Structure 1
Amino acid sequence: MEIQTVKKMQKEAIKSSGIDFLRLGFALFFMVAVLTYSFMSTGGIPNNVFLAIAALFGAYMAMNIGANDVANNVGPAVGSKALTMGGAIVIAGIFEASGALIAGGDVVKTIKKGIIDIAAFGGNTDSFIWAMMAALLSAALWLNFATMAKAPVSTTHSIVGGVMGAGIAAAGFGIVAWGTMGKIAASWIISPVLGGIIAASFLFAIKKSMVYKEDKIEAAVKWVPVFVAIMSWAFVTYLTLKGLKKVWPHIVDILIFLPDTKKPTFIVAALFGLIIAIVVYLILKTTIAKKAHSIENSRVGLNTLFTVPLIFAAALLSFAHGANDVANAIGPLAAINDAVMTGGISSKAGIPLWVMAVGALGIAIGLALYGPKLIKTVGSEITELDQMRAFSVAMAASITVIIASQLGLPVSSTHIAVGGIFGVGFLREYLEGSEVKDDIALEKEHIIDEKKQLKALHAELKTLEAKEEKEKADYERIVDLYKMIDEEEELLKEAKKQLKSARKVQYVKRDAVKKIIAAWVITVPAAAVLSAAIYFMIRGIVL
């Protein structure tokens, strides 16, 4: 039997290692293809070797973004079983790549969020190129490590740390805009707290308006269209503000009735959202009313009504993420490409199609190859999610960004999504905490009763054993008492175990919370130290 078990384990290990080898092979093939294309297409240009190596680093960074960051968009939908893992990867891959290619823009800021002053390089193009290469590689390495550790971290913070570390190594501490860095540090608290509060608020509203009602179907007909309409408003507003801001001038040229602005205003985005929300409300109101008779009057029945909205949420979040966060991979690469092609340093750089393709394809490939690990972590290893909880997390992801952008607060989409998951988990603990307290009180009463019973049996046994002249019935009773005492001790032990178990009921896994928060806090400094070391290594090799 043991030999069979060992053989099975060996078979599984060989199968697993074979899949891992294929993944690695495909990832290396993509990186080598990018390196080769970049080198061959820029032949004869000075420093084209640096550009080719930077393209390799950019491809590696894009794949790590796909492996780590995309999990936040689809993890809740997978964890709640609204989407299968395969379905989530296909949807996210298509919409991430589409967002990057369609709405990623044709110009990108070379230094993400203006965290360093490029004037400090003093026109030294080589030093600038080395710094951007170091930033790309360090951010990608940190993301790779975080993915292996199953810790969802901010890719924006990773590249920010990389740029800061390389900038300090190249030009000293004075190059850093410390005020901007302070705002980024503040986002470690602002993002998860805001995300958690908004997600918990929506979940509580859903519970009060539908879950706690006796006639859940009647409540669903009334309230589900309202909640999904709010989600539609939030997502269209979010998508307009974040996903379309880089191509807004082109949209204004086509839709001439729109205000001629460089990027969408909140009012325009909110009006777009309102129009879509009204349409969605009217359609859903009719659809759910027609299907009311076939919906189960239970929590399970209510959950099914949130499945389709969750799939749309996963797709739209992925599109906005691809449009917005592809810059984390291609921003430094575009900066290096611009510096190599023009021989100068610019605060903004045009994005060649091949650079954008590296970012878009890299994110999709990284998601397909290594995304499932983090999707499982976000979807099921922090707290248990159903469709209503996942819907609340998706709402938090869009609404928090809208609020933060209007207040000028720095936020991280990763921290918001994970904070939303913390929020719904802790709300569940709070709401169901009274039941847990009742269980603890009952177990305590049970233990007291068992102890009293055990004490009485011991007292009777002591009395009988002390009796000098024992009859046959006394001996039989002593034997029975020993059996009863053993049974009572077992019952007492079980009652204590039940009490310990009742006290341990926690719907948010504390170990996961500690690990993720620790990873968030050290992301910027870890990427910065790694980036500085890589910069000095590159400079040492070249000089």
Structure 2
Amino acid sequence: MILIFLFLAACFLAFSNGANDNFKGVATLFGSGTTNYKGAITWATLTTISGSIAAIFFASTLVKNFSGKGLVPDTLIQSPEFAISIALGAAITVFFATKIGMPISTTHSLVGALFGSGVVAVGASFNFTKLGGTFLMPLIVSPLMAAMVSLITYTIFRKLRVSLGVTKKTCICVGKEYIPITSTMNFNGLITAETETHTVSRISNEQECIERYQGDFIGINSQKMLDLAHYISAGIVSFARGLNDTPKIVGLLLVINTLDVKWGMLTVAVAMAIGGLLNAKKVGEMMSKKITPMNSGQGFTANLITGLLVTTASIHGLPVSTTHVSVGSIFGIGTVTKKADFKVIQNILLSWLLTLPIAAICSAIIYWLLLKIN
């Protein structure tokens, strides 16, 4: 019975992870107007599942890291209660963050949950050195690195675009506007007569402007080429997220010796996909629209940097957060364009600071309660 509970807890964590994280890879596609929400989340789902399947072959190191191996004694790792407390502590934290539309890190939540349950279980025997070196350091460094690399890369790309003669144009809406010309009053109230005229529609905010690229590159329309590259880069980010996040959750299922790791990966992939399809819109709006307005070229650059950094980290077993890297990359672009909303970034950073202690407290309480029950 306890093993079934563990399996369900891991599925809940995977669902919450998908709801909070699945849209992050395609946020720039939606934010730049390259596609609509439905098209973006569909592409995210397909590519994330592909990354989860690839994790079976390329991410075994992460599975071991997030089982808690090296942080606590091996005997504790084989305890279902320990794994359940980690899964539920992280899942509760991510689930409620998703409900308020805040993009937090599942990786960060898992680290906090590992810490909370581990300290309750073994106290001073917990390996704080490995916690700092293997887990916390990559989480702190990765968003800063992403912001710097995206800032530098976009600056280089922009100069290259100009040198190739590819220019930007802004599309605005031209249509009919109804203007009142006379007003009369009767016993029913005010009656307004209207006339119709052709005019340029007012654009209420900068995000409603759509920037497109003009010019050809090696005989191909630059905008069409960029849109294709943007889709590919978004797919790379989502693939990398599936590759990086799936084994972290599967690591909690290692205590279920009867469940093959491959089947665990597939189960987690399906739960993540369902979570993203059903519950990703609030976080998607935050990532796409509120950090900074962007065009397709800027979105492509942010995705390219995010995908490369997360994929590299996954292959080397470094537990970086796709959330941290993606937000860092988008913020780096916003810094160059001087359009980043620093108030939104401050709120996101605050949620990141609270993630670890909240997950640790939830996990510690759950582990303590499970010990009392047994």
TM-score (normalizing by structure 1): 0.55
Which shifted more, 389-398 or 169-178?
Answer: 169-178
Question: Deviation per CA, 1:95-143, whole angstroms, max 9, x where unpaired?
Answer: 22232234434967354185654426479x5xx2101000000101010
* Equivalent in the alignment of 1:256: none
How many equivalent residue pairs?
Answer: 325
**Paired residue secondary structure (1:356):** helix
Larger CA deviation: 302-311 vs 180-189 = 180-189
1:436 aligned residue: none
Structure 1 residue 364, shift from structure 2 partner:
0.5
Q: How does 1:202-221 map to 2 (within 5 A)?
A: 202-211=153-162, 215-216=165-166
Instruction: Give the counterpart letter for 1:529 in structure 2.
Output: I
Counterpart of 2:95?
A: 144
Change (3 A) 1:408 1:541: closer
Residue aligned with 2:367, SS: helix
Unaligned runs of 5+ in 2: 169-215
In 1, distance between residues paired with 2:63 and 2:10? 15
- Percent identity of paired positions between Structure 1 and Structure 2: 27
**Alignment partner of 1:325 out of 245, 251, 271:** 245
- Quote the residue 1:187 is aligned against: 138
Higher helix share: 1
Which is richer in strand? 2
Write out aligned runs for 1:377-526 (5 A): 377-401=286-310, 411-429=320-338, 507-526=339-358
SS class of match (1:56): helix
Q: Does 1:337 align with 2:337?
A: no
Q: What is the CA-CA distance between 1:71 and the residue it aligns to?
A: 2.4
The code of the aligned residue for 2:367 comes to Y
Using a 3 Å threshold, how does the CA distance of structure 1 residues 360 and 405 change in structure 2: closer, same or farther? closer
- Give the conservation status (yes or no) of the 8 Å contact 1:111–1:163: no
CA distance in 1, matches of 2:234, 2:146: 17
Show the counterpart of 1:290: 219
1:352 Cα shift?
A: 5.2
Q: Deviations over 1:261-289 (max 9, x none)?
A: xxxxxxxxxxxxxxxxxxxxxxxxxx943
Q: Which amino acid aligns with 2:248?
A: N
Paired residue type of 2:29: A
Cα distance in 1 for partners of 2:256, 2:318 equals 31
State the distance in 2 between where 1:409 and 1:159 align.
14
Say if 1:114 and 1:177, in contact at 8 Å, map to a contact too. no
- Pair 518,91 (structure 1): closer, same or farther in 2 beyond 3 Å: same
| CA distance in structure 1 between the aligned counterparts of 2:74 and 2:269, rounded to whole angstroms | 31
Q: Deviations over 1:19-63 (max 9, x none)?
A: xxxxxxxxxxxxxxxxxxxxxxxxxxxxxx011111111111111
Alignment root-mean-square deviation, CA: 2.8
| Residues 444-472 of structure 1: CA deviation (Å, up to 9, x unaligned) | xxxxxxxxxxxxxxxxxxxxxxxxxxxxx
**Code of the aligned partner of 1:331:** G
Distance across 1 between alignment mates of 2:230 and 2:243: 20
- For residue 397 of structure 1, report the CA deviation from its aligned partner: 0.9
Q: Which of residues 40, 52, 60 in structure 2 aligns to 1:88?
A: 40
For 1:109, the equivalent position in structure 2 comes to 63
Whichever residue aligns with residue 119 of structure 1, its letter is: P
Cα 1:366/1:405, change in 2 over 3 Å: closer
**How far off is 1:358 after superposition?**
2.0
CA contact (8 A) 2:101 2:282 kept: yes
1:372 paired with 2:204, answer no
Distance 1:329 1:114, change over 3 A: closer
Opposite residue 218 of structure 2, the aligned amino acid is: A
CA distance in 1, matches of 2:83, 2:22: 24
Separation (CA, whole Å) in 1 of partners of 2:127 and 2:345: 31
**Structure 1: runs of 5+ lacking an equivalent:** 1-48, 220-286, 296-301, 342-348, 430-506
How far is 1:175 from its partner?
2.0
The one-character-per-residue Cα deviations of 1:454-502 (angstroms, maximum 9, x if unpaired) are: xxxxxxxxxxxxxxxxxxxxxxxxxxxxxxxxxxxxxxxxxxxxxxxxx
Q: Which amino acid aligns with 2:327?
A: V
Q: Aligned pair in 2 of structure 1 residues 519, 173: CA closer, same or farther (>3 Å)?
A: farther
